[in-house]
Amino acid sequence: MELMNEDYLKMYLYKNRLATYSGWPFDEGCACTSENMAQAGFIHTPTDNSPDVVQCFFCYKELEGWEPEDDPVKEHKSHSPNCHFILLKKAVEELTVEEFLKLQKERQKFHILKTCNQVIEKFEGSAKSRRGDITKMAMEG
């Protein structure tokens, strides 16, 4: 699921992140409830094969294969140690405008990196299929 930039801005707010969780398999008594996941910056981005995929709205890190005792904040920090959101010392609502703009600048860097990686992947994919076509032609010809 690809969210528009504007939707990602909304995801700075806890309640909007929480609203993405439907059919989340971990409930009361688990460390990774939807509330704790949303608090840790994750939005729910399930696919047919992976119902528990989440993505950090800020650093775009995707994680799945959750266990009931997994601590979302700890997992986030260990899998994406450079995420500025998870390292924030205060709530987004308490940031000054200057602090927020600084944070948003860092998020743009993650976004650019992700977009570049997608373009590279796409290029490599089509290069691979072209190579396959050429090999096939050579063998036929």
| Site residues for Zn ion per CB under 5 A | 56, 58-59, 80, 83
User: What would the DSSP string read from start to end of 31-59?
Assistant: SS-HHHHHHTTEEE---SS-TT-EEETTT
- Comparing CB distances to Zn ion, the nearer of 99 and 133 is 99
What is the smallest separation between the CB atom of 122 and Zn ion, expressed in angstroms?
A: 24
**Smaller CB separation from Zn ion, 26 or 58:** 58
Structure-block tokens of residue 43: 């939005």
CA distance 11 to 33: 18
Closest approach, Cβ 76 to Zn ion, in A, equals 6
Q: For residues 71 and 73, give the distance between their C-alpha atoms in angstroms, rounded to a whole number.
A: 6
- Do residues 43 and 11 make contact, with C-beta atoms less than 8 angstroms apart? yes
Q: Which is nearer to Zn ion, 38 or 59 (CB)?
A: 59
- Closest distance between Zn ion and the C-beta of residue 21, in Å? 17
Separate counts of helices (H) and strands (E) for the chain: 5, 3
Min dist CB 107 to Zn ion, Å, is: 9
Q: Which H or E element spans position 73?
A: helix 72-79
24 vs 56, beta carbon nearer Zn ion:
56
